[in-house]
Amino acid sequence: MALSTHTTPSGFLLPSIHSAPPFFTEQPNQSTHAHLTEKWIHLILTYARHKRLFVLRVEDAEVPGGEWDEILRNERINRRILPQYLSSLMAIMVAKNLAVYEPSKQTRAVLLYWRLPEEWADVLHSWATATGQLNTILTFYEISDPPIQSPLSGIPIPLLRRAITILSRSNRAQIIGVADGEGVRFFVG
């Protein structure tokens, strides 16, 4: 019985460790726990990048049918990661600055940093420059949900706001109040 990789319906290649039943149990031995946790975190972030998922919730381990099923469950071996373990993984990711609790003051949902806010800032500014939108006012909505797919499509507003704040520190952006929300103006940087 060989443990092998497996390609999911969405085209993601799962590592062979995902076929091992004990991978879905939180390990009592400290060094084994550290080793497998590292594998889980890497898997979660890689999958998030693949499917452009920004948010992970404890609920994703509680209720089937969500966007994370391909990772959090393995129907072929009848195993799933339990909510307690997922919650513990989320806490570790937050501690390592690979995610933040969003909204703050709760621990059931995290915003994943498969790209750091600093990197998002650069992507954002490059996009604004490339599309000739410097010096014009854009609403947050226009950035996260543009008519044409962009590298920023689907970015959660809290993450977008963080990226813009980073740009404003180097005078590459300025937040502006607009009629029904928030807007931003980008400058040459």
Partner 1 sequence: MNMHRGIGLAAFDKEQLSQRFAELSSELSKTQVDNLQSQLTQFRTALSHFATTHRDSIRSDPAFRHAFQQMCSSIGVDPLAGPMKGGWWAEILGMGDWQYELGVQIVDVCVSTRERNGGVIEMGELVRMVSKLRGVESGVITEEDVIRSIKTLQPLGAGYEVLDVGDGKKMVRSVVKELDADQAVILAEAQVEGGWIVEAILENRRGWTGERARAALENMLLRDGLCWLDSQDEHYGQVYWIPSAMRWDE
Helix (H) or strand (E) holding 40: helix 30-51
Choice between 80 and 161, CB closer to partner 1: 80
Structure tokens at 176: 């502006």
Side chain identity at residue 126, one-letter code: S
Side chain identity at residue 123, one-letter code: V
Residues binding partner 1: what is the number (CB under 8 A)? 23
Instruction: Name the minimum Å distance from CB 21 to partner 1.
Output: 4
Residue with tokens 């391909």: 70
Q: 138 and 184 in contact (C-beta within 8 Å)?
A: yes
Does residue 93 touch partner 1 according to CB under 8 A? no
129 vs 5, 49, 51, 95, 124, CA distance in Å?
A: 41, 24, 26, 34, 9
DSSP assignment of 72-91, as one string?
HEEGGGTEE--HHHHHHHHH
Q: Which window, 13-21, 58-66, 90-98, 168-176, contacts partner 1 (CB under 8 A)?
A: 13-21
Among 24, 40, 54, 113, binds partner 1 (CB under 8 A): 24
Does residue 135 touch partner 1 according to CB under 8 A? no
Site string for partner 1, 51-90 (x = CB under 8 A): ---------------------------xxx----------
Rule CB under 8 A: which residues touch partner 1? 1-5, 15-16, 20-25, 27-29, 31-32, 35-36, 78-80
